[in-house]
Amino acid sequence: MARRQRKKLIREIAQQQIERLFELADLISGTRPLLSDRYVYLAKRIGMRHRVRIPPHLKRRVCKHCGKYLVPGRTCRVRLNGACVVVTCNACGKQIRYPYKAHRQ
Ligand SMILES: [Zn+2]
């Protein structure tokens, strides 16, 4: 197999692994939160190793500051302030902001 083709295949597998790890993290977040943090950490490492991006909807489930897996209502607080979605991590207390545009009517 050509080098470029192989690289592409490896990236595809990495992508699948990242998605699977997040699935698993979600499944066990209620019973073993520390293990779900570990899964998320592994997903991040795989992404960096193979230069695969973590999809944005999954990236939002991780604390940027401490790497904790975030479950709204349990490990984080989610609030809207008119311009941003403000996610407060319950583990480290830091905030992550995501801008949004209010729906115009
Ligand atoms: Zn945190």
User: Ligand 1 center to residue 49 CA distance, Å?
Assistant: 23
Residue partners of 79: CB distance under 8 A and separation at least 6: 85, 86, 88
Q: For 15-37, write each residue's pLDDT tens digit.
A: 999 999 999 999 999 999 999 99
User: Ligand 1 center to residue 71 CA distance, Å?
Assistant: 12
pLDDT of residue 105: 63
Domain architecture of the chain: domains with CATH: 3-99 (1.20.5.420)
Residue 29's nearest CA partner among 73, 71, 89 is 71
User: Ligand 1 center to residue 91 CA distance, Å?
Assistant: 5
User: Ligand 1 center to residue 37 CA distance, Å?
Assistant: 11
**84: pLDDT confidence band, cut at 50, 70 and 90?**
very high
**104: pLDDT confidence band, cut at 50, 70 and 90?**
low
